[in-house]
Amino acid sequence: MRPYRHREGDDVGDPHRVGVVGLGVISRAYLDTLANHPAVSIVAVADLDASRSAAVAAMIPGAEALSVEHLFDRPDVQTVLNLTIPAAHAEISLGAIDAGKSVYVEKPLAVAFPDGRSIIDRAASAGVRVGCAPDTVLGTGTQTARAAIDGGLIGRPLSASAVMVTPGHERWHPHPDFYYAPGGGPLLDMGPYYISALIHLLGPVRAVSGSASRLRAERVIGSGPRLGHRIPVQVDTHVTGVLEHASGALSTITTTFDGVATTAAPIEVHGETGTLAVPDPNYFDGEVRLFALGGNGWRVVAPRAGYVDGSRGIGLIDDVTGDGQRPPRAGGDVGLHVLDTMTTLLRAAAEGRRIELTTVVERPELVPLTPVEEWKAHHGTRKVRRP
């Protein structure tokens, strides 16, 4: 991936101009982070539902409600923030890249691996950047655990477990259809948090195996205007797997929409001389705890890395305020490796065998401990010239 190209003179210091496509449930969290952030300026918003874009534009000074095509055509949009449903991620991201924009896309990068591959390859040819959620793993939770591992607190890391149990998002999401359509399911939906965290903690994955099952053929919407509607379940809703990391460490992962609750730590990492309990990678913070070999209990590891009080959108801020030389920490290459891990695991489960991945990725750089005042006040953005 090529870095942003720098501009000289008066342009240096201008906010990075963002167009947002997709203004549903999660867009509010992003807008809360980005709408007032000095490093970015939201100049355009678009949604299939024009009433949503009009409502959001009315809330953000300087933002214009546009059709998706017009947003792509607007020369001043530097990055398209793609918050559409997973099935639309590839179409919107590729459209933006073809219009010369960088992209930051919600997870997963795409629902099919070849589409994810196209996004990364076409962005590289166009000289634009790709960022991909989740950026929660840049918060103090996952980053402190990673710093603890790198600092030798558990000796050589050997294995990890990741557990996500929920009875299903249809209980609270007003339009949960996509979670049960191809490209949905617990692994593609929630796996990106856990697998991204495992990549930050233990490095890339080289091979996977797994098994999957399905509890029900239908789900019932539990909120909103379609309360009580039945939706079909077209994907497996309980997915388990083993990830073999390139380092030799083994992670076991369980993601399910078919369970009620769990007492398991979201992630545990076991090393030769200690075990770390890692907080939920769906959140930015939370307590990291260590049980050292020979010790007499768990002790809290004070935050030592990551964005303090991070919030969604910080992955984009991290990139536009970076030096332009390193790949985005919440990067498209990580998103592609996560997608490869997930889609290959589902194939391994369907075919009943172990499969090696086709992608490799560098472990992203550690985020230094960054106080909230520091990342919220950042004024220095790199400048982007459209190719």
Ligand X SMILES: NC(=O)c1ccc[n+]([C@@H]2O[C@H](COP(=O)([O-])OP(=O)(O)OC[C@H]3O[C@@H](n4cnc5c(N)ncnc54)[C@H](O)[C@@H]3O)[C@@H](O)[C@H]2O)c1
Residue 49 makes contact with ligand X by CB under 6 A = yes
Given a contact cutoff of 8 angstroms between Cβ atoms, the answer to whether 27 and 1 are in contact is no
Selected from 7, 74, 122, 175, the binder of ligand X by CB under 6 A is: 175
Peptide bond into 108 cis (omega under 30): yes
- CB 308 → ligand X: shortest distance, Å? 21
The rounded distance, in Å, linking the Cα atoms of 352 and 381 is 48
Closest CB to ligand X among residues 27, 254? 27
Residue 65-84 contact track with ligand X, rule CB under 6 A, x = bound: ---x--------------xx
The rounded distance, in Å, linking the Cα atoms of 140 and 161 is 20
Residue 94 makes contact with ligand X by CB under 6 A = no
Total chain residues near ligand X (CB under 6 A): 23
Q: Judge residue 111's burial from the number of C-beta atoms within 10 Å of its C-beta, 0-12 exposed, 13-18 middle, 19 or more buried.
A: buried
Residue 47 makes contact with ligand X by CB under 6 A = yes
Residue 90 makes contact with ligand X by CB under 6 A = no
Angle CA 155–157–163, to nearest 5: 135
Selected from 20, 80, 88, 201, the binder of ligand X by CB under 6 A is: 88
Site for ligand X, residues 9 to 38, rule: CB under 6 A: 21-27
The pairing of strands 288-292 and 274-278 is: antiparallel
Closest CB to ligand X among residues 50, 350? 50
- CB 54 → ligand X: shortest distance, Å? 12
Closest CB to ligand X among residues 227, 360? 227
The pairing of strands 267-271 and 205-213 is: unpaired
- CB 33 → ligand X: shortest distance, Å? 13
Closest CB to ligand X among residues 141, 157? 141
- CB 95 → ligand X: shortest distance, Å? 9
Phi and psi dihedrals of 41, rounded to 5? Answer: -135, 125
Residue 255 makes contact with ligand X by CB under 6 A = no
* Both tokens assigned to 152: 């030798």
- CB 215 → ligand X: shortest distance, Å? 21
User: How many residues are recorded in the chain?
Assistant: 387
- Report which DSSP code applies to 72: H
The rounded distance, in Å, linking the Cα atoms of 241 and 25 is 30
Binding site for ligand X (CB under 6 A): 21-27, 46-49, 52, 68, 83-86, 88, 92, 106-107, 175, 189
